[in-house]
Chains A and B, each alone.
Chain A
Amino acid sequence: MKKIFTKFSVLTILCLFLFSVANAQNITVTGSVKDDGNIAIPFVTVLIKGTNRAVQSDASGNYSISAPSNGTLVYSYLGYITQEIAVNNKTKIDVTLKADTKNLEQVVVVGYGTQKRKDLTGAISSVSGDDVAKMPAVSPLASLQGKVAGLTVVNSGGAGSQPVIRIRGIASTNDANPLYVVDGLIQDNIDYLNPADIESIDLLRDASSSAIYGLRGANGVIAVTTKRAAKGQTRINFTSNVGVQKVLNKIAVTDAEGFKKLYSTQLANINAAPFDFSNYTGNTNWQDLILQNAIINSNSLSVSNTGEKSTTLINLGYNNQDGVVKYENFQKFVLRLSEEIRVTDKFKIGGDFTGFHSKYNPASAGLNNALWASPIVPVQTNASTFYAMPSFQRAQVGNPIAALERNNRSAINKNFRFNGSIFAELKFLKNFTLRSTLYADYAFGTSRGFSRPPFTFINVGENGGATTTTKDNLFRSTVTQGQSESHRYQQDHTLTYEKSLEGGHRLTAMAGFTSLRFANSSVSGSRTDSTLVVPGDPDLWYLGIINPNNIQSNAGGGGEESNAGVFGRVSYAYKDKYLFNGTIRRDGSSRFAPANRWGTFGSVGFGWVASEEDFFKNNIKGIDYLKIRTSWGRLGNSNSVPGNLYQQGLSTGSTAIFGDNIYTAVQNAYQPDPNLHFEIVQGTDIGLEVKALDTRLSADINFYSKTTTGLLTTFPLPAAQGGLTYFTNLGKNTNKGIEATLGWSDKIGKEFSYSLSGNFSYNKNRIVSLGNTTEFQITGNSGINLTSTGQSIGYFYGYRQVGIYQTAKDMLSMPAFSNSQLGDIAYEDINGDGIISPLDRTYLGTPFPPYSYGMSLSLAYKGFDALVEGQGVVGNKIYTQRRTANFATLNYESNRLNAWTGPGTSNVEPILDNTRGNNFLFSSYFLEPGDYFRLRTVQLGYTFGKTLMTKIGAQRLRVYVSGQNLKTWTKATGYTPEAQIGSILGGGADNGVYPVPAVYTFGLNITF
């Protein structure tokens, strides 16, 4: 069957090539294009209607085009209302374009096609590529934070790291990641894109907009359109920025003096002998030593050209980011070629090619290691001799700098990716368009590494003993090598019918077919040399460097899956007043058993543009545009469901030992659910779009309700069931919310313009039921988070602190555990039975921020522009799990300096005594408010005037300075208050989150 698919697609493409239509009778038309302020507009596309032939206006707004004498010219430019003018044998046509303050002509991606914003009946927001490109970030998604209502972006400061993205809450207990569609290609991420190469990002937020993606789109869709060649001209653009990243908020820990005081107190509290600190003279701030001010640099060069028959765009990107944790580094090289050939007016073919290469050097020290290491120890005496930690933490905590230096440049990780597509598009019979696209995506990863010999360690003499040094003489060096590969094939075929009828009817109908196949495999191995120490030379780090008779191990695995679907869409508009959109999709996924594979999905949407009604025009002043829309959609969700869970899988990793004989063994890998099926997500949406006061004021308000049934859940069965994981469908959850975006933009005088915008979203997540298929409680993060009926997914569940037991009288009068002692945390007696027991645990908050908001102010005066952006969340809690580690004596966070030492000393911080288990129970003591507001961006730019630029042969030059994350207001104590919501059932834990640094950048953008 695979064969038939391939044949079918090749046939389609070939057929499309066979077409060729031509006609003539052209005259040359010239003219100029200006805006309503009589200023020339360059780069306006002048297109001969019904063809793909176009030119662009030059720097003075002039154009010249050879057009049929009876044809029609279409003048379009982003941000202006498109105009059509009949040629009628005129050879000179001057045009004045009106600014499109309503953004109605903007084209947005709607899934297997595009639509004009004015025709939408769903909630789709767009972010322009320029807004992404001018931010200093290697990942294009990072820059979306705070820009769009309903979109949650949780950034990580790690070099080259990807943010966590959520659209409209958490619709699934399994996977809440949105779908990415890059120029039609279905993807799980877009980290391979160069931010400067993005034309626009469209966010399909509601169920009706994404329903056409069937089993993939339930968490929303992020559709990325990459840049195309500007029409009619050769253009060269170069952008570059360079910045410094700096960690502004370090975690407050005790210094040597504070540590000695606290550890001595603790030992006294447990009646242990005092520790002999006499030879520990250090006072080391380990955090300062592993963090650094790090460089970030992005460059992008693009060349585009439009010829008579073809357009070409070449883009080269290079990003280099050092991590703020030493010695992390990420580099990415992107090369993209986009080509379109207009074979005839009716027929075009083209293709895209993206090559991607990244290199990653991971951080060589752990953040927790630096927080835990005792400050009383000096760092080192020379490059290969380091101090060991004191005996109370030596076995568990290493010298962070020794680890840093030992791991530095001991691994090489490279990733390669090549993807692209070819398409052919044929217009026939006036109203029909047939388009076929074939996509391929190949990704390869290689990693190699070695282990450096350990250093010599100085054991500081304790209890009168001499200071000694040790060096591990059993060390043997290991070389590792791994390769991975994945490939993905996709084909989309669509047939579109577009017709405008007399009387204001416009109809677009589309039907299509798509399939996707994905497979991956990987191998890895290691060898350990029993006689030689492998040198730190990357040229040697291949498995073959070590004799195969040494210790070796290897591993390999793979996966395969496929998807197929048919789909259709009908859009209808009457007089731009009454709008209708409907989609349908029949979709199947190989992840499920044959009986549960297929589903039918779809959507309907209605829009009413009240401002087009006569009564509105006649009676209502001040409102320029008002649209009310409502829609409903139904999707499936199969994201991140491992394949074939309906069958009993086996795992082969275990061994039985009898004497010195080793026998391989096999056991069940998980508990299968033969009835496993996809989740069903249904959503309704009501939206209101308003432009008022000469379109200076704009508002976009949405109400939504989204229901997921058959929740896919990795179920933590009670251990008595044998400890296997169980993946099954449970009950139902809802996400209801409001999104509001308000904007104001105006000019003061001729030269000064400003705009102010804000967005706000509220999302309420609630488990309606967990179904009747389970009798068990769903927990996350070892029982810290619960998921149960009537509450939000994964809420915090534990004891609520009411104080500290101060006096013996307290112990008598306040409810307590049977073994509570003075100085312990006093918990609230929730059930009022006079004692504290597990029954007193209660709801303590949600890890998911219910409220989030963003705001921005931009100003322009002559050549100057300025931008200020802020962003924040309200209402969630953060679990400071990093403070709960107590497997050894670790350095203390500064809050412990206030620990209870006697009546009245603290009503928050318990006594220093890590043997008191009651104080380590999960409680509100370990929660802090997740609310924050962050000054996200302050940017100041200057654009040099055309006259100056023309002298150096350029058209435009903008230079800017920018600061990101300059200040964060929060009560959270970690490196960043951004909610850690990557885990759905066990979210919100701060286990040493990578810092999100401030970034100070200088950049330029020049166009020739």
Chain B
Amino acid sequence: MKIFNNYKRNLCVALTAATFVSINSGCKDFLDTQRQGAYTADNYPYPQGGTPYDQFLFSAYDALRAYNYVSDGFMVVTSIRSDDADKGSTPTDGGADVIAMDNFPALTNGRVNSLWTEYYAMIGRCNTILDKVQNDKDIIATDQMKIQAEAEARFLRGYSYFVLVRAFGRVPKIDKIQAVASNVPQSTPAEIYAFIESDLQFAATNLPAVWDKKFVGRSTKGMANGILAKAYLYQQKWNQAMTTANIVMTSGQYDLSTPYTTIFGEAGENSKESIFEIQGTASATVPTNNGIQYASIQGTRGSSTEWNRGWGWNMPSAMLEAAYEPGDPRKTRTILYSSTASTPSTTIYGQTAPLFPTDVPNTKYNQKVLANPTYIAMYNNRAGWWMNVRILRYADVVLMYAEAANELGGTANTTAALAAVNSVRARARAGNNSILPDVTTTDQTALRNAIRQERRIELAMEHERFFDIVRWGIDQDAMIAAGKTGYNPNRDRLLPIPQQQIDLSKGVLTQNPGY
């Protein structure tokens, strides 16, 4: 019994000691668990070679391919809303949200919110990179690396704000990572444009003119100057627009040598025509993950296996069809006509087009996003996720130059404008001198109309039209002509600020007029 007692005492001491020692000191380690199978900012092993910011930069390029950033929301807002395109597909397909985009007013949630969200997600990733460049002392990098990373991030951010300001007008200017999120009110369009200019100017100064082949499509001087020129154009800063467009035109990187028929297909990707193309790729083993859904949303909505390529949205409108000059070969490169019982139609790849109305519900589709059957066979997939999205083409810059020059006026500028617009027409002519005669007028108004017409046709279905007619102030007439009678310029030039975002901000964000 004595042994027992001794033991008991010892045990109690041991227990007590063990317990409290454990709690007070030892548990510190016991309770230190780490994230499993996931990095933190503290243990991320930055790869050797390249710049240490590359991995974060690449996540911003990843955001370029996001569903609404470039496919659904973007396409609906920039194209279906215009007089040159209709929703397409069956009458009720897609529901109120997209139907309202076609004939106004847009709903205050849904797609509008998705678009807003994904553009700010991109801006968030850009701001993360800028934060790393400025504040992360753990990253060892040369000044040159820092400047280049900053330039890439600011290009992508500047471009994103340019889409936002055109779509929404007043948007909040988020220019850095916020440790504690604060409720930022909207800035005026002028403030946003100033911010865009400073981002794009920095990018234009510090980005390389060209990348090694393995980085084709990565941000360049030409991209920054091209988008900057357009930002000037939208503000009617004609002088800067012309000068900046001219920098691109004299950079030696781009020309009009690529035939119009080649530009939009797989073979025309990253050609001399291409300034800013969002890049997608595919393989037989990974047909969609590394691509973009852009072409699939607009693909033919066939019941036959061959033509079941997508939703059939973004149908070229009768207005666009009627806008072409006689014999302009760009018309059939842009519009894919469905076959009818009496009139078979052929695609640019020589296939017989699907039959309307039995196979497909619409008479026209966007031929610029039609995938080449060779690639379909190669990737064993019909959805065309591998097709790059042309955001800025060289012809666009040339026409911006022409427009700015004409607006500035004067003989020299008029001559320059004529030369520019005719260079685009010359390519479109493709050697057939009986069509598309040179523009010769030197009357500013007539030339303005000619340049606008050229812009509409050359860049048809390429996301310019809606914003162009708004900035030209011809939106109301154009929309009414196109039968979009719901259009009210006082309201519909801008999208509604997403109600969900207004709610989240407790009313710090305010709605655009008319909604």
B124 pairs with A657, CB closer than 8 A: no
Tell me, yes or no, whether B143 is within 8 Å of chain A by CB.
no
B511 pairs with A465, CB closer than 8 A: no
CA distance A557 to B38 in the complex (A): 8
The closest CB in chain A to the CB of B121 belongs to: A723
CA distance A668 to B499 in the complex (A): 27
Q: Which of B219-242 contact A (CB under 8 A)?
A: none
What 1/0 flags go to B200-235 for Cβ under 8 Å of A? Answer: 000000000001011111100000000000000000
A659 pairs with B38, CB closer than 8 A: no
A776 pairs with B124, CB closer than 8 A: no
Instruction: Report A-chain residues with C-beta under 8 Å of the C-beta of B19.
Output: 493, 513, 566
Give chain B nearest CB distance to A819 CB in angstroms: 6
A655 pairs with B99, CB closer than 8 A: no
Instruction: Report A-chain residues with C-beta under 8 Å of the C-beta of B172.
Output: 720
What 1/0 flags go to B20-55 for Cβ under 8 Å of A? Answer: 101100111111111111111110100000000011
Give chain A nearest CB distance to B153 CB in angstroms: 12
A665 pairs with B56, CB closer than 8 A: yes
What 1/0 flags go to A882-911 for Cβ under 8 Å of B? Answer: 000111110000000000000000000000
Give chain B nearest CB distance to A206 CB in angstroms: 27
Tell me, yes or no, whether B462 is within 8 Å of chain A by CB.
no
A465 pairs with B304, CB closer than 8 A: no
B32 pairs with A586, CB closer than 8 A: no
Instruction: Report A-chain residues with C-beta under 8 Å of the C-beta of B182.
Output: 775
Instruction: Report A-chain residues with C-beta under 8 Å of the C-beta of B514.
Output: 818
| Choice from A429, A551, A564 contacting B31 with Cβ under 8 Å | A564
A887 pairs with B95, CB closer than 8 A: yes
Tell me, yes or no, whether A428 is within 8 Å of chain B by CB.
yes
The closest CB in chain A to the CB of B171 belongs to: A720
| Choice from A473, A661, A671, A919 contacting B305 with Cβ under 8 Å | A473
The closest CB in chain B to the CB of A555 belongs to: B37
Instruction: Report A-chain residues with C-beta under 8 Å of the C-beta of B358.
Output: 461-466
Instruction: Report A-chain residues with C-beta under 8 Å of the C-beta of B127.
Output: 722
Q: Which of B496-511 contact A (CB under 8 A)?
A: 498-506, 508-509, 511
B181 pairs with A721, CB closer than 8 A: yes
Tell me, yes or no, whether B308 is within 8 Å of chain A by CB.
yes
Instruction: Report A-chain residues with C-beta under 8 Å of the C-beta of B213.
Output: 659
Instruction: Report A-chain residues with C-beta under 8 Å of the C-beta of B502.
Output: 838
Instruction: Report B-chain residues with C-beta under 8 Å of the C-beta of A564.
Output: 22-23, 27, 30-31
Instruction: Report A-chain residues with C-beta under 8 Å of the C-beta of B463.
Output: none
B304 pairs with A915, CB closer than 8 A: no
Instruction: Report B-chain residues with C-beta under 8 Å of the C-beta of A661.
Output: 214-215, 281
| Choice from A651, A652, A717, A779 contacting B503 with Cβ under 8 Å | A779
| Choice from A474, A648, A657, A660 contacting B380 with Cβ under 8 Å | A474
Known A474-B381, A659-B213; judge A388-B303 contact (CB<8 A).
Answer: yes
CA distance A559 to B502 in the complex (A): 37
Tell me, yes or no, whether A85 is within 8 Å of chain B by CB.
no
Known A720-B501, A776-B505; judge A557-B37 contact (CB<8 A).
Answer: yes
Q: How many residues of B contact A (CB 8 A)?
A: 121
Tell me, yes or no, whether A953 is within 8 Å of chain B by CB.
no
The closest CB in chain A to the CB of B14 belongs to: A11
Which one of B283-291, B396-404, B452-460 contacts A? B283-291
What 1/0 flags go to A651-684 for Cβ under 8 Å of B? Answer: 1101111111111111111010000000000000
Tell me, yes or no, whether B113 is within 8 Å of chain A by CB.
yes
Instruction: Report A-chain residues with C-beta under 8 Å of the C-beta of B15.
Output: 12, 493, 495
CA distance A338 to B92 in the complex (A): 64
Instruction: Report A-chain residues with C-beta under 8 Å of the C-beta of B285.
Output: 528, 530, 550-552
Tell me, yes or no, whether A39 is within 8 Å of chain B by CB.
no
Instruction: Report A-chain residues with C-beta under 8 Å of the C-beta of B26.
Output: 1, 4-5
Which one of B58-66, B252-260, B467-475 contacts A? B58-66
User: Of A388, A671, A783, which is in contact with the most chain B CB atoms at under 10 Å from its CB?
Assistant: A783
Instruction: Report B-chain residues with C-beta under 8 Å of the C-beta of A889.
Output: 90, 92-93
A659 pairs with B124, CB closer than 8 A: no
Tell me, yes or no, whether B174 is within 8 Å of chain A by CB.
yes
A659 pairs with B65, CB closer than 8 A: no
Which one of A57-65, A264-272, A990-998 contacts B? A264-272
A15 pairs with B11, CB closer than 8 A: yes
Instruction: Report A-chain residues with C-beta under 8 Å of the C-beta of B44.
Output: 650, 666
B121 pairs with A659, CB closer than 8 A: no
Which one of B102-110, B317-325, B363-371 contacts A? B102-110
B22 pairs with A8, CB closer than 8 A: yes
The closest CB in chain B to the CB of A919 belongs to: B96
CA distance A776 to B182 in the complex (A): 8
Instruction: Report B-chain residues with C-beta under 8 Å of the C-beta of A586.
Output: 23
B59 pairs with A887, CB closer than 8 A: no
A722 pairs with B36, CB closer than 8 A: no
| Choice from B7, B65, B92, B178 contacting A721 with Cβ under 8 Å | B178
CA distance A554 to B161 in the complex (A): 36
Tell me, yes or no, whether B94 is within 8 Å of chain A by CB.
yes
What 1/0 flags go to A1-45 for Cβ under 8 Å of B? Answer: 110110010011001001100000000000000000000000000
Instruction: Report B-chain residues with C-beta under 8 Å of the C-beta of A470.
Output: 303-305, 308
The closest CB in chain A to the CB of B42 belongs to: A647
A644 pairs with B121, CB closer than 8 A: no
Instruction: Report A-chain residues with C-beta under 8 Å of the C-beta of B170.
Output: none
The closest CB in chain B to the CB of A551 belongs to: B285
Give chain A nearest CB distance to B342 CB in angstroms: 13
Give chain B nearest CB distance to A512 CB in angstroms: 8
Instruction: Report A-chain residues with C-beta under 8 Å of the C-beta of B184.
Output: 720
Instruction: Report A-chain residues with C-beta under 8 Å of the C-beta of B28.
Output: 1, 594
Instruction: Report B-chain residues with C-beta under 8 Å of the C-beta of A429.
Output: 8
Which one of A317-325, A389-397, A862-870 contacts B? A389-397
Known A270-B91, A658-B217; judge A721-B174 contact (CB<8 A).
Answer: yes
CA distance A774 to B183 in the complex (A): 9
A665 pairs with B508, CB closer than 8 A: no
CA distance A718 to B108 in the complex (A): 15
Give chain B nearest CB distance to A1006 CB in angstroms: 47
Instruction: Report B-chain residues with C-beta under 8 Å of the C-beta of A888.
Output: 90, 92-95
Q: Which of B281-311 contact A (CB under 8 A)?
A: 281, 284-286, 289-290, 301, 303-305, 308, 311
User: Of A594, A651, A665, which is in contact with the most chain B CB atoms at under 10 Å from its CB?
Assistant: A665
B303 pairs with A472, CB closer than 8 A: no
Tell me, yes or no, whether A782 is within 8 Å of chain B by CB.
yes
The closest CB in chain B to the CB of A519 belongs to: B36
Instruction: Report A-chain residues with C-beta under 8 Å of the C-beta of B149.
Output: none
Tell me, yes or no, whether B361 is within 8 Å of chain A by CB.
yes
A656 pairs with B504, CB closer than 8 A: no
Known A272-B91, A428-B8; judge A659-B181 contact (CB<8 A).
Answer: no
CA distance A915 to B107 in the complex (A): 10
Instruction: Report A-chain residues with C-beta under 8 Å of the C-beta of B199.
Output: none
A267 pairs with B279, CB closer than 8 A: no
Known A513-B22, A562-B31, A590-B31; judge A391-B37 contact (CB<8 A).
Answer: no
Known A723-B124, A776-B181; judge A651-B95 contact (CB<8 A).
Answer: no
Known A463-B358, A468-B304; judge A777-B39 contact (CB<8 A).
Answer: no
B62 pairs with A656, CB closer than 8 A: yes
CA distance A551 to B283 in the complex (A): 9
Known contacts A665-B57, A721-B120, A920-B107; 15 additional CB pairs below 8 A are: A1-B26, A273-B91, A434-B11, A474-B382, A515-B27, A558-B37, A655-B289, A658-B279, A661-B214, A661-B281, A667-B128, A722-B120, A722-B128, A838-B511, A917-B100
5 contacts between A and B (CB under 8 A): A15-B11, A588-B27, A590-B30, A649-B38, A656-B57
Closest 7 CB pairs between A and B?
A722-B124, A465-B358, A665-B58, A656-B58, A654-B62, A656-B61, A667-B59
Give the interface of B toward A (CB within 8 A): 4, 7-8, 11-12, 14-15, 18-20, 22-23, 26-42, 44, 54-59, 61-63, 65, 90-97, 99-100, 103, 105, 107-109, 113, 116-118, 120-121, 123-125, 127-128, 171-172, 174, 177-178, 180-184, 211, 213-218, 270, 279-281, 284-286, 289-290, 301, 303-305, 308, 311, 355, 357-359, 361, 380-382, 486, 491, 498-506, 508-509, 511, 514
